[in-house]
Structure 1
Amino acid sequence: MTLLYTSDIHGNAMPVLYGTNEKADIGLVKYASVVKEARQKSENIIAIDNGDLIQGTPLMTHYVKEYSNRENPMIGIMNRIGIDAAVLGNHEFNFGKEILADAIQQSDFPWLSANILDESTNKPKFGPPYIIKNLENGVKAAIVGVTTHYIPNWEAPDHIKGVHFADAFKTLEKWIMQIRETENPDVLIVSYHGGFERDLQTGEPTEKLSGENQGYQMCQEIEGIDILLTGHQHRRLSGMVNDVLILQPGNNGQAYGKVEIELEKRNERWVITDRSGSLHELRDIESDSMLMDYMEEMEKSTQRWLDQPIGYIEGDMTIEDPFLARVKKHPFIQFIQDVQMDASGIDISVTSLLNNTSTGFGPVVTMRDIVSNYMYPNTLVVLELTGQDIKDALEKSAEYFTVTDNQVAVNPAYIYPKPQHYNYDMWEGITYTIQVSNPVGTRVRDIFYQDRPIDFHQTYHVVLNNYRASGGGNYDMFKNKPVVKEIQKDAVEMIREYFEKNQKIQATANANFTVQV
């Protein structure tokens, strides 16, 4: 039997990079051709999606804003591919309850969510915990789905109201035992929207053991898993961990995972004799013509929307070097801070440069520029923080840096195993200095607010995005802090509205922080 799977597609239906509009070897319309060809060769094909399907491209932002009364294009494509099951990813919740409910209702396939429970019934809320596929010659495959239970640390509370995220490891352990006993499958596959918390060879932790990723623990401590499909971390992995075949196919529809399983009948029972996993890019794959036709109207509408001029920049707001944009105040960062302060009416703001591919803004700003620089549907939250909280948060951000050859450089922990440049924050409304050569936890000094040293016992109102406000990125000092107000508009909408009020923006930067050796 052959198993094909995708993970972290993030709205990439089409073979295009929306930021530049260049053609690319990515997307579900190409992957569909892979599945179709595999099914022509064999009946024993299982196709699965491992989550983070519906959010992440301008196509999906445009769908949510203008076309949400129609079929979700990502679901429409997966229906036409004929996948056997999907797993909920954390980004499935980003657009709110209604968009998610519509996506699930429109699906011709089940959403497996063993550990995402209805608070009132304590049963899986969005679909069955597992399915059984009976294949040719009587081979019986069980597929169980779980999702990182760390979602409440990132997601807007109203998007997950009434939902309980049970521990993924403990839930999986229970279901594996039950499936082995009651279903007696020949092959047991786990589809886990989560990744690995430890080095696969040494077992050493590669991140804070928060429970966000539990893949290594699942392989080591749960008996009976044959295949563990993973995602969430956007890594490319294949191999064996404690006799469990593991895979992870990266992100954005650039590659897919393939598992080939050989079985032999012994004493009236099928036994796995060989397992192999591999990752494949979509180079030299033709797009499925039927799906290209299906997407034509939505894609044309998206492109028209992206090319709309929204505003104008006087001066230089382009980003040549993302590292330099983090060590010295950049006009683009100043712009985002200004947008957040304008939308909230708060004079202390926190933001980050979300991606190393961000290019900033040229003289004419289109929607394409906005969504390629701000790719997450974040909303804003105003928290009441003490001066000590602010100091702690600045120290956390200062961990982003290290000293190499007497120069400030990026801490490798923010690059490997998963790039996390978005977890370095810059602040506005206060002044501060980061001394990178000092020990971690003692790097930040000279914190001033309104020309006075910050008072560690006093409280201040601070505006930041909802991901960070909930403690995302291990900013634990923000967890459970008083919420002063929430601005329930996503970032793209706020930026567009800011340009409506201020058609021409001066590219300036308030040099309020210093990063030095």
Structure 2
Amino acid sequence: MAVTLTILSTSDTHGFVSPTNYVRRHAALPFGLTRAATVIKAVRQQDPDHTLVIENGDFLQGSPLAYYAVKGTGHFAPELLTQAYNAVGYDVGTLGNHEFNYGADYLAEALDTLNYPLAQANILHNDHAAFGEPYRIIEKAGIRIAVLGLTTNYIPHWESPDHIEGLTFADVLATAKHWVPILRQQADVVVVAYHGGFERDLATGRPTERQTGENVGYQLAQIPGIDALVTGHQHRQIADHLFGVPTTQPGYRGEMVGRIDLTITKKGGQWQVTDSAAKLLPTGEAVPDPAITALMAPVENTVEDWLDKPLGRVAGDMRITDPDDARIHESPYIEFIQRVQMAATQTDISGTALFNNEGAGFGETISLRDVMTNYIYPNTLAVLKLNGAVLKAALEKSAEYFMPGPQGTVAVNPHFIKPKPQRYNYDMYQGIDYTIDVAQPVGQRIVVLNYHGAPVQPKQELAVVVNQYRAVGGGNYAMFGADSIIRENQKDMTELIADYLRKHPVITAQADHNFHVINSTNQNTAED
């Protein structure tokens, strides 16, 4: 007797329920939870008794809708967002790293609104008490399925310490090695839902990133006893087998639904997995689920109106038409963000990033929509006390974003694009003058570094404002750390930008081009 168990998953939807990125009102783009829900429903209707649906984390943060649920009403209102997830019909979920971005109180309130159970094995209270249930056993037509929930244990390297106070993030691999043998005794099928990704190429085993422990999916798949591995975090599109284990990763914002099919055969009175398949189901052409669309219409309309609230005007041009050119030559938009950060923290050196290639900068009128679709993360700010040597090391780290291009040009290092885009890990600085020469060896590319017209000395002490993620070493900026933080501003950047615009309703677009990125083998080409 053989049956097919289907495991469907979403991951990293980041609160994008409707098929829009909110750049324009009511866009119809090829992603979103409502499209994913339609795909899930169609598959589940074929065999509801043998279909398991998993939500794999990073759902509470990322979209203007998600932000509105936290900030838009004057009080926490997570149900404005979670009602959509409740309508999908998930059997089980786990947590992603971004679930902690708005603090413990909001997370607790949001989790209380969910109608599906969570599995979370490697997040513990400091007294080793469980943060939640480590696993869930779900029965489908007499088949006992154990779902073990795991989340990247690298969260303390990114998250604001007060958001995770009292929590321990245990090693993912050690946790899995503890629980999987136990679950094999309790269940017919063991599924790992891991909000993390892969640290190595799935085909060759070669490292694809620094082996920090942020992603350990390649090692996780080698643990005996795992029948299926659902992953996320990296926003990659993966459907493959790794060491015989079917695995999926369904991209970003609901653009894909992961599907794993396990053929389960009963032998000697016990179910055994005898075959498996993994694939991704695109959602882009699916009609958005009518019921969820109708459910969410009132709040989505409110959010659209809220986003169109004007905040200020621009004198000049603050648009971004070529993101990488803005990273090489600076742009008025980036300089504006630096000015906001310096004003909010009373510092005169600031670092920030152009997080992705979707932001278009600001037109003549600045609305909340413009702010949130350009500055996409709920970052707070931290001021670091650094010496000149540490600042130079940080600049050298940022300089890794570039590489020498053909004919003496400046090109983008492909490691910042694949397997996961990491443009947010290239920082630009204001308040210092510096030059990056990509023709020089990595680690020796900062050929000019001045502060107030004089060379920065290695032991010279400086106060530098960056976002909290970077301040605690996020993005592998190991030269930074929480022990260097001398003060913080607990308002997130969306609020700080809005506050700045209220005080300065007309912003002059300007860029002083205090940094230069050159290829000294052909400097003129790089500077043109």
- Whole-Å separation in 1 of the counterparts to 2:350 and 2:378: 18
Tell me which amino acid in the other structure corresponds to 1:274. Answer: D
Query: Match for residue 231 of structure 1?
Result: 232
Deviations 1:434-471 (A, max 9, x none): 11100011110221111111121121111000010010
Q: Secondary structure at the match of 1:277?
A: strand
Tell me which amino acid in the other structure corresponds to 1:445. Answer: V
Query: Match for residue 443 of structure 1?
Result: 445
TM-superposed CA distance for 1:32, in Å, is 2.2
Deviations 1:385-424 (A, max 9, x none): 1111001001111111111212110011111111111111
Deviations 1:351-377 (A, max 9, x none): 011111111101111111110001100
Query: TM-score scaled to structure 2, two decimals?
Result: 0.95
Tell me which amino acid in the other structure corresponds to 2:488. Answer: E
Query: Match for residue 159 of structure 1?
Result: 163
Aligned length: 511
1:461–1:71 CA distance, 2 compared to 1 (3 A): closer
- Whole-Å separation in 1 of the counterparts to 2:445 and 2:72: 47
The partner residue of 2:191 within 189, 192, 198 is 189
- Whole-Å separation in 1 of the counterparts to 2:165 and 2:107: 13
Equivalent runs, 1:353-502 vs 2, <5 Å: 353-405=354-406, 406-502=408-504
Tell me which amino acid in the other structure corresponds to 1:51. Answer: G
TM-superposed CA distance for 1:30, in Å, is 2.3
Query: Match for residue 64 of structure 1?
Result: 70
The answer to whether 1:298 aligns with 2:299 is yes
Equivalent runs, 1:20-39 vs 2, <5 Å: 20-21=24-25, 22-39=27-44
Equivalent runs, 1:168-317 vs 2, <5 Å: 168-180=172-184, 182-183=185-186, 185-220=187-222, 222-317=223-318
TM-superposed CA distance for 1:283, in Å, is 3.1
Query: Match for residue 130 of structure 1?
Result: 135
Q: Secondary structure at the match of 1:38?
A: helix
The question of whether the paired residues in 1 share the 8 Å contact of 2:33 and 2:253 is answered with: no
Query: Match for residue 50 of structure 2?
Result: 44
The question of whether the paired residues in 2 share the 8 Å contact of 1:87 and 1:145 is answered with: yes
Tell me which amino acid in the other structure corresponds to 1:80. Answer: A
- Whole-Å separation in 1 of the counterparts to 2:77 and 2:338: 35
Deviations 1:292-324 (A, max 9, x none): 222122111101111111110011111111111
- Whole-Å separation in 2 of the counterparts to 1:281 and 1:194: 21
Query: TM-score scaled to structure 1, two decimals?
Result: 0.97
The question of whether the paired residues in 1 share the 8 Å contact of 2:70 and 2:77 is answered with: no
TM-superposed CA distance for 1:242, in Å, is 0.7
Tell me which amino acid in the other structure corresponds to 2:298. Answer: E
Deviations 1:482-517 (A, max 9, x none): 221110011111111111000111111011111110
TM-superposed CA distance for 1:149, in Å, is 0.4
Q: Secondary structure at the match of 1:485?
A: strand
- Whole-Å separation in 2 of the counterparts to 1:146 and 1:40: 29
The answer to whether 1:101 aligns with 2:105 is no
The question of whether the paired residues in 2 share the 8 Å contact of 1:384 and 1:481 is answered with: no
Q: RMSD between aligned alpha carbons?
A: 1.2
Tell me which amino acid in the other structure corresponds to 2:121. Answer: A
The question of whether the paired residues in 2 share the 8 Å contact of 1:52 and 1:90 is answered with: yes
- Whole-Å separation in 2 of the counterparts to 1:482 and 1:404: 36
TM-superposed CA distance for 1:63, in Å, is 1.5
1:275–1:57 CA distance, 2 compared to 1 (3 A): same
1:29–1:73 CA distance, 2 compared to 1 (3 A): farther
Deviations 1:218-238 (A, max 9, x none): 113x11111111000000011
Query: Match for residue 92 of structure 1?
Result: 99
Query: Match for residue 526 of structure 2?
Result: none
The question of whether the paired residues in 1 share the 8 Å contact of 2:6 and 2:50 is answered with: yes
TM-superposed CA distance for 1:99, in Å, is 1.3
The answer to whether 1:117 aligns with 2:124 is yes
- Whole-Å separation in 2 of the counterparts to 1:11 and 1:420: 20
- Whole-Å separation in 1 of the counterparts to 2:472 and 2:282: 35
Structure 1 runs, 4 residues or longer, greater than 3 Å off: 67-71
- Whole-Å separation in 1 of the counterparts to 2:76 and 2:467: 28
Worse-superposed segment, 141-150 or 21-30: 21-30
Q: Secondary structure at the match of 1:448?
A: strand
TM-superposed CA distance for 1:69, in Å, is 4.2
- Whole-Å separation in 2 of the counterparts to 1:38 and 1:202: 33
Deviations 1:329-359 (A, max 9, x none): 2111100000000111100100011111111
| Structure 1 stretches lacking a partner, 5+ long | none
- Whole-Å separation in 1 of the counterparts to 2:45 and 2:489: 51
Q: Secondary structure at the match of 2:105?
A: helix
Q: Secondary structure at the match of 1:234?
A: coil
Task: State percent identity of aligned pairs.
Answer: 45
- Whole-Å separation in 2 of the counterparts to 1:434 and 1:27: 39
Query: Match for residue 525 of structure 2?
Result: none
Tell me which amino acid in the other structure corresponds to 2:437. Answer: Q
| Structure 2 stretches lacking a partner, 5+ long | 520-528
